[in-house]
Amino acid sequence: MNRLITESQDSTVMIECKNDSLGSGWAIELENETSIKYPSYTTSIMTAHHVIEDCLDTKKVSIYVLGEERAYTGFIEKWDKKNDLALIATSAELRPFELSAWAPLEGYWVMAVGAPEGFEASVTFGYIMNSMENELYYTAPISGGNSGGPIIDNEGRAVGTVTASAIDSDFNIGTSLDGLCAKFVECEGKYF
């Protein structure tokens, strides 16, 4: 379990947009167009659209890697407001998460990693309650700053992205990997 947590924290970042607005993101193995112009920007970060929305005018955010004192520049490449997702390119070196090959079922154990209230690489545990279309409903507690972080299964594979907290409810909402198929990844079927 400790290895799963440590490896997940090492692949998760804190993202800062304008006005000290904080969110989270996770490394994903996707080619990005920024690396054509800037060869060192080979790392792709997935996050929630609402985390970067106020920075779309400059298309730049700051990326903070656990244990590093400096901030990296991140370039916003693509976004999908409907599924609340965005892709960022950066030069920070991170190991990308593997993507789960199947959709998580009800009762499936999950972990959320992120930067709630700026506390980098915080970890919470829960389970999948249900799923509908491109959304996952899960019980791992989250706070402001967790948005954009990964939802991870018991094998350390990403199953979704944290997107919202359900007000006055005991569950939260994330975008499933199916949501990536809309703009970011070519998918063969309903799920990877």
Burial (CB count <10 Å: 0-12, 13-18, 19+), residue 81: exposed
Give the separation between CA 49 and CA 148, rounded to whole angstroms. 8
Catalytic residue list contains 50: yes
Give the separation between CA 138 and CA 170, rounded to whole angstroms. 9
Q: Give the H/E segment covering residue 148.
A: none
Given the DSSP bridges, would you call strands 122-132 and 158-165 parallel, antiparallel or unpaired? unpaired
Contact 114, 141 (CB under 8 A): no
Return the residue matching tokens 């491109």.
134
Give the separation between CA 44 and CA 31, rounded to whole angstroms. 7
Which among 24, 49, 84, 176 is annotated as catalytic? 84
Catalytic residue list contains 49: no
Which among 62, 147, 176, 178 is annotated as catalytic? 147
Which among 8, 11, 24, 50 is annotated as catalytic? 50
- Please report how many Cα atoms fall inside a 13 Å half-sphere around the Cα of residue 9, on the Cβ side: 16
Return the residue matching tokens 């990693």.
113
Catalytic residue list contains 40: no
| Residues known to be catalytic | 50, 84, 147
